[in-house]
A = this chain, B = another copy of it.
Amino acid sequence: MKHLLAALLMLATGSLFAQSDSAQLRKLAQEILTNSQAYNNLRVLTQEIGGRLAGSPQMYLAEDWGSKALQIAGAHSVWKQACLVPHWVRGGEDKATAITPAGKRKLDVVALGNSLGTDKKGLKAPVLLVHSFDELESKKEQVKGKIVFYNYPFNNTMVRTFEAYGDASKYRGQGPSRAAQYGAVGVIVRSMSHSTDNHPHTGATRYDTNYAKIPAVAIGLRDADWLAAQLGAAAVEVSMQTHGHFLPDKQGHNIIGELKGTEFPNEIITVGGHLDSWDNCEGAHDDGAGCVQTIEVLRAFRSIGYQPKRTIRFVLFANEENGLRGGNKYAEEAKAKGEKHVFALESDAGGFTPRGFGFTMSEEQFQKVSTWRSLIAPYGCSEFSMGGGGADIGPLNRTFKTPLAGLQPDSQRYFDYHHARNDTFEAVNKRELELGAVNMAALIWLVDRYGL
Contacts and interface: CB of A to CB of B under 8 A. Distances in A.
Contact of A412 (B29, B157, B435): B435
Nearest to A30: B157
A410 B410 contact: yes
A159 interface: yes
Interface stretch (A239-247, A254-262, A376-384): A376-384
Contacts of A156: 33-34, 431
A439 to B, nearest CB: 10
A194 interface: yes
B435 A416 contact: no
A364 to B, nearest CB: 24
| Total identical chains | 2
Interface in A148-187: 156-157, 159, 161
A33 B159 CA distance: 9
Interface in A350-404: 353, 355, 378-380, 382-383
Contact of A410 (B29, B353, B430): B353
A416 B353 CA distance: 14
A267 interface: no
B380 A29 contact: no
A432 interface: yes
A222 to B, nearest CB: 14
Nearest to A378: B159
A194 B431 contact: yes
Contacts of A353: 353, 410, 412
A413 interface: yes
